[in-house]
Amino acid sequence: MRACIPLVLAVLCGLAWAGKMESCASRCNEKFNRDAACQCDRRCLRHGNCCEDYEHLCTEDHKESEPLPQPEEETEEALASNLYSAPTSCQGRCYEAFDKHHQCHCNARCQEFGNCCKDFESLCSDHEGFSHSSDAITKEEIQSISEKIYRADTNKAQKEDIILNSQNCISPSETRDQRDRCPKPLFTYVNEKLFSKPTYAAFINLLNNYQRATGHGEHFSAQELAEQDAFLREIMKTAVMKELYSFLHHQNRYGSKQEFIDDLKNMWFGLYSRGNEEGDSSGFEHVFSGEVKKGKVTGFHNWIRFYLEEKEGLVDYYSHIYDGPWDSYPDVLAMQFTWDGYYKEVGSAFIGSSPEFEFALYSLCFIARPGKVCPLSLGGYPLAVRTYTWDKSTYGNGKKYIATAYIVSSA
């Protein structure tokens, strides 16, 4: 498949993706620059889009700056907040990215700046491979493991398993008019034998366990909680998740497989509140199942969910603005659609990937680059995933839930 126009998907979410201006040199406290690859303004920490040298070049020189103003209502893809209780220990926080709103820090440079938590030495500094950079896992390491995950996805769809009818390609400026430019469904054919594979079946069992409207608390039955465990158990049997765990274990992020599984369950399935009622959302619900907030579709970045809802007549495919360069699955599509009458202006999704493949890449990016753009490589093509942390509540000792994860760029 080929891109229908020369664009980067970062445009879709108001995030610039450029090959220049990747440093804060001579840019500290400048205004937001939509054309820059990363930002150096005083709110970049809040939005998770700072350049990698922001902490080194800007933070220490501006310690006494005015407090950051409280943001206006954030969109679904900009949920950062500082309303949680800041942790005071490094338990479960070794290697995390710098967060200005924490009382103390556990990143590789906290000793340089004298702001480590008291237990940093005992919990973090003796870890093998602790890097002297703000992100312990390098860009090259992330791209390398993403290629391994890509090659390991033996459960992905084959060419003959899916027939797409992408139809009308439009420009990003046309997405707001909410016009249906495609009279036929996106999926002409899907080989549903795929769905009998253990990870697909376990994934599909989870999709109807949620109320899509935010503001309505989620209350899981014993069976639904068991389905979460069953999904994690099945994906951990796959080569994809074995590759991811091996990589993160080697990086000293997790000491055991059970610790990894427990953390995945918390970050993805732990409940928090997007609306007025306690526990009305989770990372899994938002990213894979989809939600409706203030009359708009939010999240909903999964092709299996899209196909099943389209088959039931609940999803109406409108158009697309990007079709990825891959000539086999998984591929990437950025599309416009309605879900039971609610509009999604741009929804980027992998097409033809296995559930474990998406789950692995989004988890990798959330762990390695929480709240940042995460550079991947799939089949030799560059790709980026953007994650956001949910900061209004935490689990464990200050660990953050997944707010969202989605594809933001492809070249």
**Amino acid sitting at position 140:** E
pTM here is 0.72
Choose, from 344, 372, 399, 400, the residue flagged as catalytic: 344
The pLDDT score that the predictor gives to residue 15 is 34
Residue 322 structure tokens:
């990007």
Choose, from 47, 286, 293, 320, the residue flagged as catalytic: 286
Residue 334: inside a domain: yes
**Amino acid sitting at position 357:** F
Residue 316: inside a domain: yes
Q: 375-408: string of b/e by CB count within 10 Å (b at 16+)?
A: bbbbeeeebbbbbbbbbbbbbeebbbbbbbbbbb
The interaxial angle of helices 222-235 and 355-368, nearest 10 deg, is 90
The pLDDT score that the predictor gives to residue 409 is 62
Ranges under pLDDT 70 in the chain = 1-22, 34-35, 46-48, 59-87, 91-101, 108-109, 111-113, 122-135, 409-411
- CB of 214 within 8 A of CB of 187? no
Choose, from 102, 105, 301, 400, the residue flagged as catalytic: 301
Overall residue count recorded for the chain in this entry: 411
Residue 333 structure tokens:
């599509």
Residue 243: inside a domain: yes
Whole-angstrom Cα distance, residue 214 to residue 286? 10
The pLDDT score that the predictor gives to residue 63 is 32
The pLDDT score that the predictor gives to residue 85 is 36
**Domain hosting residue 182, numbered range:** 139-408
Q: Is 301 a catalytic residue?
A: yes
User: pLDDT digit string (tens) for 52-67?
Assistant: 777 777 764 333 233 2
Residue 404: inside a domain: yes
The pLDDT score that the predictor gives to residue 152 is 97
Residue 79: inside a domain: no
Residue 10: inside a domain: no
Residue 38: inside a domain: no
Whole-angstrom Cα distance, residue 17 to residue 9? 8
Residue 230: inside a domain: yes
The pLDDT score that the predictor gives to residue 52 is 75
In the chain, the number of structural domains is 1
The pLDDT score that the predictor gives to residue 194 is 98
Which residue reads 């309505």 in tokens? 216
